[in-house]
A and B are shown apart, each in its own frame.
Chain A
Amino acid sequence: MNYFDEKKETMPREELKRLQSERLIETVKKVYENVPTYRAKMDKINLKPEDIKSIDDIVKLPFTEKYDLRNNYPFGMFAVPQSKIVRLHASSGTTGKLTVVGYTKKDIEVWSECCARSLAMTGATNESTVHIAYGYGLFTGGLGMHYGSETLGATAVPVSSGNTARQLMLMKDFGADTLCCTPSYAIYLAEELEKGGENIADYKLKRGVFGAEPWSESMRNQIEHKLKIKAYNIYGLSEISGPGVACECEAQDGMHIFDDYFYPEIVDTDSLQPVSYGMEGELVFTTLAKEGIPLIRYRTRDITTLSLKPCACGRTSIKMGRVFGRSDDMLIIRGVNVFPSQIEAAMLTCEGIEPHYQIIVSRVDNLDTLELQVELSEKVFSDEVKKIEELRMKIQSAIQSGIGVSCKIKLVAPGTMPRSEGKAKRIVDNRNLRD
């Protein structure tokens, strides 16, 4: 078996539990002392740091939600002074503001270690060349896997996203054996490769580590078939660290959560009570060694299952299944987190547009497509096609710059969008992630 750190990765559960308990106690103390939001949350339920004596006490702690980060934008949830923060990353927020996270030097080390473990888990070694086609920037995908690859001792190719023809050339010329990108981009690469008359046999690719968006087993089969590789699922979110919160091993049977650093729980989406392993629920994480922005029982909104079934690879960690959906209305479009509220806000910056709309998400040839159907109003109607097209382009570019993802705009007649007494049905997601 190919481990990055065999001792940590195969630690007996009992020993791991002691470590988790120690780390939780320390983390709770730290946030109580340094993060006013946590002090307030705990004081409100009369909980003192001393009440947390082991990992089992975690259920006593309050949850953390995305809005806690938004309300404390940008740095209010940080538990260390700015002088200790060496890097910032950010992901989409539900409004115009981003969700910001900060890392200390040690946070970067732990994150890199987790990404290195992830790569090693899929068979990559220091002999590997890792082609990283995730975006580099505020998005954690690119830099996370980059540092992971370097920590593993492999050769990182920081190609970032875009320019597919160049990507294929570099992948072939540099002899990458490991590809990191979103699963939909992997499919796209495979198709472009075929279109360009290239033969996959001329590439040295052996494995792909794909994440940042939910995907299905049928998509895995397609990728493996087209690229002649093993395709592995990696999971992460910037609030917890970035990619490398969990990753599949060569057994391809669920993702190992690095639960010495990130403690997972699965809860009922309504009652927020823990559900037993094997049942579907919302995934909740507590960071156990994070310094910059430790989070207690952070609601990921991702719906999945957990399992403690022993794994063929010998790793002892808890495993999580594929993400089947969300308990909020966040959409992941080609790896980018998008909230309908962001689309609405961008759309309404165009004068004369009313909030009667529906968002249609589909997966066409394995690529996510986003369509906004919005009612045209008399105020902005014109007898000239040109003016209506201008309006359509204006909405399109407002949304593109607001969410960073292109969106097709379809203008429809008034009264055609569904209205309801309570919450209108704004999203139609036609993607199937369960097969």
Chain B
Amino acid sequence: MFVNQIAVFLENSKGRLKECASVISNAGVDVVSMSIADTKDFGILRAITRDNAKAMKALKEAGFIVSSNDLIGALVEDRPGGLTEVLSTLDTAGIGIEYMYSFANIDAQNALILLKVDNEQLAIKVLKESGAKLVENKII
């Protein structure tokens, strides 16, 4: 039910994202999904790759600050209201979402959403109870 991601600190300067992407590609790693959180002074790149450990090692060697952590991965039906159902489940249980991003086209019927929440255990419990399909790294 967990999907591992890497997070990279990006100083807000021209070309920094490209440098980061080059390091990952030069390591021969394919990025499958990503999102960037940006503030005035810095950004955080969050990415899921085919080989997080390898990408992390390469980034560290290149001087980037990197961390990795697990996100909840849930399948959402690709139709109007699919996302709302999952979010309602979490909302009803009083769970806050720190951030989320999505991964489209995992198969023909579903999209994958990746969630960072403030109460992981409870989120997994209520999502499972609601019948949501949780996914793991290997599916990706």
Contact = CB atoms under 8 A, between A and B. Distances in A.
A382 interface: yes
Interface in A58-109: none
Interface residues of A, number: 18
Nearest to A387: B98
B49 interface: no
A415 B65 CA distance: 10
B83 interface: no
A378 B98 contact: no
Interface residues of B, number: 20
Interface stretch (A154-162, A320-328, A406-414): A406-414
A385 B63 CA distance: 20
Contacts of B99: 384-385
B58 to A, nearest CB: 15
Contacts of B10: 413
A411 B41 contact: yes
Contact of B67 (A383, A410, A414): A383
A147 B110 CA distance: 78
B51 interface: no
B44 A388 contact: yes
Contacts of B66: 378, 381
Contacts of B116: 383-384
Nearest to A384: B98
| Central interface residue in A384, A410, A415, by most chain B CB within 10 Å | A384
A388 B42 CA distance: 10
Contacts of A376: 9, 65
B contact face: mostly helix, strand, loop, or mixed: strand
A414 B65 contact: yes
| Central interface residue in B7, B11, B66, by most chain A CB within 10 Å | B11
A378 B65 contact: yes
B98 to A, nearest CB: 5
Contacts of A377: 65
A383 to B, nearest CB: 3
Contacts of B9: 376, 381, 388, 411, 413
B42 to A, nearest CB: 6
| Central interface residue in B5, B44, B46, B69, by most chain A CB within 10 Å | B44
Contacts of B5: 383
B129 to A, nearest CB: 26
B63 A413 contact: yes
Nearest to A392: B41
B2 interface: no
B103 interface: no
Contacts of B37: 385
A378 B64 CA distance: 9
Interface of B: 5, 7, 9-11, 37, 39, 41-42, 44, 46, 63-67, 69, 98-99, 116
27 contacts: A376-B9, A377-B65, A378-B65, A378-B66, A378-B67, A381-B9, A381-B65, A381-B67, A382-B7, A382-B67, A383-B5, A383-B67, A383-B116, A384-B98, A384-B116, A385-B39, A385-B99, A386-B98, A388-B42, A389-B39, A411-B42, A412-B11, A413-B9, A413-B10, A413-B11, A413-B65, A414-B63
For the complex of A and B, list the 4 residue pairs with the smallest distance between their C-beta atoms, beginning with the closest.
A383-B7, A381-B65, A385-B37, A413-B11
Interface of A: 376-378, 381-386, 388-389, 410-416
